[in-house]
Chain A
Amino acid sequence: MRDLILVVNEDLSAKTITITSGDGSAIQAYSVTPEGEGRAASRGGVVLIHHLPGYDRGQKELARHVAELGYDVVVPNLYWRQAPGASPDDAAAAARANGGKPDTELVSDVAGAAAHLRALPTSNGKVGVIGYCSGGRQSVLAACNVHLDAAVDNYGAFVIGDPPEGSGMTMTGIEEQLPNLRCPLLGLFGNDDKFPPPADVDKLEQILTANGKTVEIHRYDDAAHAFFSTERPSYRVHAANDGWARIAAFYGKYLAS
């Protein structure tokens, strides 16, 4: 998909804001908004779910990339409740020591972020979700429980199957929730990934297809986990470039108008 124009809006405004989670809690969030003459007057929004290692620079860079595609983006700080004001790595360490982000809180935070986006005067009423790594699993979880219009799962493990016994984390697999998926799903995975392994990706696709869900899965050779992460050795330019083109096309279809 090399012929797609990936950058729609080069001018952006990014800032830290406070949003209200679905359970009423005030939490920090990173907001990125298209600016300039090229932006659409009425546009969709995207909730970006940061990965387990935290609300960090790399995840905010991903948010700016999504905003360049022409969407208002909000990244809820999932660890704000446990570690308000802490640096992203310290907050992630504290959250991990306490068992990770509870699924119920995650659903509330995404619901609150989606409501924030829909309340923007520029909103066209459409809101998508996207997540990477643990955020990929949480993107699917949110799409099963929150009113969303399009969901992207980038190499999320433990959608199928549970984390290892004694992992210390509270989250579990969410296979039984898949029949409740409320919007189309785009999944991007590396064939060399071990978590999730290709067999789990196949099973995800099979379950959603069997339940009549709209699902689009792309698998990349010579790519493992975290192939979108430009700041990590796992970065794979061929997979990331094609992945961004797939995301642009998917959101263009379900969020843009």
Chain B
Amino acid sequence: MCTYTTVTAPMSGSAKGPNGSWFHVTDATVYFDHPVHAMAEHTLNIDLWSSTPADPSRGPSARVALELTAASARELMAAIASALESVPEALKL
């Protein structure tokens, strides 16, 4: 199915996108739906993109896309949480 359900979150950071160029990331879109490339009927999809691109001519192509199986997405969530928890207290913001 097309689940329609789409969760968005503001971001601040950078991503390496098409043609190996970096861009500023302002937004994340997260949804569980049909993948374009992954061999699964549904995947947890993450788009990292910029709503205020430095180069507007790049338009929607300034995007990093992930399509992860549900199990992989949970592993990624755990890995991110673990990495953040392991940060020395002096460096935590």
Contacts and interface: CB of A to CB of B under 8 A. Distances in A.
Q: A and B: real partners? A: yes
Nearest to B6: A168
Contacts of B36: 53-54, 56, 89
A168 B5 contact: yes
Interface residues of A, number: 38
Contacts of A168: 4-8, 31
A234 B20 CA distance: 34
A226 B4 contact: no
Contacts of B70: none
Nearest to A83: B60
A176 to B, nearest CB: 19
B60 A157 contact: no
B65 interface: yes
A234 B41 contact: yes
Contact of B6 (A51, A91, A96, A194): A96
* Contact residues of A: prevailing secondary structure: loop
A56 B36 CA distance: 9
Nearest to B29: A97
Interface in A109-140: 133-134
B41 A158 contact: no
A90 interface: yes
A157 B29 CA distance: 22
Given A53-B33, A83-B59, A85-B59, A93 B2 contact: no
B40 A233 contact: yes
Contact of B29 (A91, A96, A194): A96
A158 B1 CA distance: 11
A54 B39 CA distance: 18
Given A134-B2, A158-B4, A94 B60 contact: yes
B4 A52 contact: yes
B6 A233 contact: no
B45 to A, nearest CB: 8
B34 A53 contact: yes
Interface in B1-37: 1-8, 27, 29, 31, 33-34, 36
Contacts of A90: 59-61, 63
Interface of A: 51-54, 56, 82-83, 85-87, 89-91, 93-94, 96-97, 100, 133-134, 155, 157-158, 163-164, 166-169, 171, 193-195, 225-226, 232-234
9 contacts: A52-B2, A85-B59, A133-B34, A134-B2, A167-B5, A168-B7, A168-B31, A226-B1, A226-B41
- Which 8 pairs, one residue from A and one from B, show the smallest C-beta to C-beta distance? A168-B6, A195-B1, A94-B60, A52-B2, A90-B60, A86-B60, A163-B4, A83-B60
